[in-house]
Amino acid sequence: MSTPRIIVHCDLDAFYAAVETLHHGFDDKIPLIIGSDPENGRGRGIVSTCNYAARKYGIRSAMAISEAWRRCPGAPYGTAIYIRGSRGLYSRASRKVMKILKQPAEFFEQASIDEAYLDVTTYVGGDWDAAVALCRDLQSSIIKEIGLSASFGIASNRILAKMASEINKPKGIFRILPDELSDFFEGRDVRDVPGIGKKRATQLHEWGITTVDEMYAYGELSLARITGERFAAWIIRVYEGRTSSEISPLRSRKSIGKEHTFNYDRENYQIVLENLLSIVRRVMKSAREVGVSGRLAEVKIRYTGFETHTHGRSIPVSMDDDEVFTSLAEKLFANNVQPDKKIRLIGFRLGNLDTPKTKQTRLLAILEEE
Ligand SMILES: [Mg+2]
C-alpha cells in the first residue's frame, strides 16, 4: 500500500458572525444573529447564521427569526444584536484567509467560502507531527493577520479530515492518525459522518445502530440489506480509511461566473461592453486564484423584460488568460447583441474547467487571425 497522504481540512469558526463582529467591533459575548429583519419578533424570515453566544440559547441556522427573537430578543427588549449581513465583507475576508492557507499546500481546494482542503504531504515531508505544528502556525497567522478563528482537521483523506475539524471546534486542531481509525469511530454517532443525514440515521436507529463502529460490526452484506449496497460499501470504506484523498479545485467547482445588473436598463453598448470586459477580468482573476483554467466562454445578456440569452464558444485547450477571454467575450457580445433592445444585465461564465498544466498562449495568435 502506498504511504497515506496528509490532508488538512480548515473550517472557519462561525465565519459570517466572526466577520461582522470584527467589522462592527461587536462584543463576541453578546448574541449576534444574522438573518432577515426580526421586526420585533413578528418577522417571517429565517436565521442565516449566528455566533457562539447565540448558539448557547439554542439558536441555529434556518430557524425562524421570530423563534430566535423569542429565545433572545434584541433592543429594546433584550441585548441580542440582529443584522442583515453583507456578502462583500465575507468574500473579502475569505480571500485573505485562502491566500494564507494556499501557501503550504501542494494541492489546494476551496470547498466553500469558509472551508478549504490542503494536501500538505510534501510540505511536511510526510511527518504527522509537523502537520500539527503547521496547522498551529496557520491558525495563529489567520488570527494575527485577519482576526478570525479557524479549526483544523488532519487525516489521511478528505472525509476524515472534515470530521476531525469538527471535533474541537472552535479554535480546534484534531488529528486522526491512519492507525487510529477504529479508536476514532468507536462510540461515534453516525450523524457525525458527513453524508449521513436525519433520514439515514433514523433508518439505522430502527436496527439499533447508533454509532459508526456498530454499523461496521454489521458487516457489509448485512448492512447492505438495511441501507442498500452503495451506502454499505461506502461506509465500510470510510471506516477503513479508504475514501478519496484527492484534492483538486475541480471537485468543488463546475464553472466560475459573475454578472452585473445595471441601475437602469442600458442602450449604450460601449458602456455595457466595458462592464462585460471588467467582469471577464474579474472572473479570470478568480480562476487563477483557485487554480483553474477553462475551455468555455459564455456571455449572458438580459434585456428589458427579463428576456435572457447566453452565447457561448469553446476553445480547443483550457486557458486562464485575460486576453484570450476578453477577446472571445467581446466577439460573442458584438456578434449577438440585439441592437434594438435595452440591456438590464450582463454576465460572463468560464466553463469546462481544468487545472492548468500546460499553457498555450499561442492560441491567442490563432484567435486573432480569424
Ligand atoms: Mg465554518
Checking if the pLDDT of 368 tops 70, the result is no
For ligand 1, the distance from its centroid to the CA atom of residue 284, given in whole angstroms, is 26
Query: For the domain bounded by 7-15+88-178, which CATH number is listed?
Result: 3.30.70.270
- What letter would DSSP give residue 5? P
**Nearest in space to 19 (alpha carbons), one of 95, 75, 71:** 95
Could you list the active site residues? 115
- Residue 356 confidence class, pLDDT cut points 50, 70, 90: low
SS3 call for 102: helix
Section 264-291 average pLDDT: 94
What percent of the chain lies above the pLDDT cut of 70?
96
Q: Residue 100: phi, psi to the nearest 5?
A: -70, -45
Q: How far apart are CA 5 and CA 157, in angstroms?
A: 7
Q: What is the pLDDT of residues 173-187, one digit of tens each?
A: 999 999 999 999 999
Pick the closest to residue 32 from 89, 65, 80 (CA basis).
80
CATH class as words, domain 16-86: alpha beta
Burial class, 253, CB count within 10 angstroms (exposed 0-12 / middle 13-18 / buried 19+): middle
Q: Say what the pLDDT of residue 366 is.
A: 47
Q: Which has the higher per-residue pLDDT, 251 or 190?
A: 190
Do the Cβ atoms of 286 and 256 come closer than 8 Å?
Answer: yes
Q: Are 16-86 and 253-369 in the same CATH fold?
A: no
Grid look-up 458602456 returns 271
Domain locations along the chain:
7-15+88-178, 16-86, 182-239, 253-369
CA distances from residue 114 to 11, 44, 88, 89, 361 in whole angstroms, order as listed: 6, 27, 14, 12, 33
Closest CA to 87 of 13, 19, 12: 19
Summarize the confidence of residues 321-350 as an average pLDDT. 95
Q: 81-83 and 32-35 as β-strands: parallel, antiparallel, unpaired?
A: parallel
Extract the C-alpha cell encoding 253. 467547482
Instruction: Look at residue 358 and tell me whether its pLDDT is greater than 50.
Output: no
pLDDT value at position 281?
97
Q: Which CATH number fits domain 253-369: 3.30.450.20, 3.30.1490.100, 3.40.50.300, 3.30.1380.20?
A: 3.30.1490.100
Distance 117 CA to ligand 1 centre (A): 13
Instruction: Quote the pLDDT of residue 355.
Output: 81
Q: Which of 161, 195, 176 is nearest to 11 (CA)?
A: 161
Structure confidence at residue 252 (pLDDT): 82
Q: What is the mean pLDDT of residues 40-52?
A: 93
Does 249 have pLDDT greater than 80? yes
pLDDT at 365 over 80: no
Alpha carbon distance 92, 83 (integer Å): 19
Return the pLDDT at 291: 84
Least confident of 69-78, 188-197, 283-292, 353-362: 353-362
Residue range 202-218: mean pLDDT, rounded = 95
Percent of the chain with pLDDT over 90: 88
Task: Give the containing element (helix H, strand E) for 311.
Answer: strand 308-319
| pLDDT mean over 34-40 | 94
What lies within 8 Å, CB to CB, of 344 at 6+ separation is: 261, 262, 265, 266, 302, 303, 304, 306
Does domain 182-239 fall under CATH 1.10.150.20? My reply is yes
Conformational region of residue 41, where left means phi above 0, alpha means psi within -120 to 50, and beta covers everything else: left
pLDDT of residue 360: 44
Give 168's pLDDT tier (boundaries 50, 70, 90): very high
What average pLDDT score do residues 6-11 get?
A: 98
**Rounded to the nearest whole angstrom, what is the distance from the C-alpha of residue 190 to the centroid of ligand 1?**
20
- Measured in angstroms, how far is the CA atom of residue 37 from the centroid of ligand 1? 23
* Of the candidates 165, 9, 21, the residue with the CA atom closest to the CA atom of residue 93: 21
| Cα 325 to middle of ligand 1, angstroms | 34
pLDDT in tens, 114-126: 999 999 999 999 9
Q: What distance in angstroms lies between residue 168's CA and the mean position of ligand 1's atoms?
A: 13
Going from the C-alpha of 303 to that of each of 79, 152, 175, 344, the distances in angstroms are 46, 46, 53, 5
For ligand 1, the distance from its centroid to the CA atom of residue 115, given in whole angstroms, is: 6
Mean local confidence (pLDDT), 76-83: 95
**Residue 341, pLDDT above cutoff 60:** yes
17-21, 134-138, 245-249, 364-368: least confidently modelled range: 364-368
User: What is the mean pLDDT of the segment spanning 276-302?
Assistant: 94
Reported as a pLDDT band with limits 50, 70 and 90, residue 290 is: confident
Sign of the four-CA dihedral 270, 271, 276, 278 = positive
How much is the average pLDDT of 280-291?
Answer: 91
Ligand 1 centroid to Cα of residue 15, in Å, is 6
Cα(289) to centroid of ligand 1, in Å?
Answer: 21
**Residue whose C-alpha is closest to residue 20's, from 43, 58, 53:** 53
Across-strand partners of 155?
7
If you measure from the C-alpha of residue 356 to the centroid of ligand 1, how many angstroms do you get, rounded to a whole number? 29
Kindly report the average pLDDT of the chain as a whole number.
Answer: 93
- Residue at grid coordinates 502556525: 137
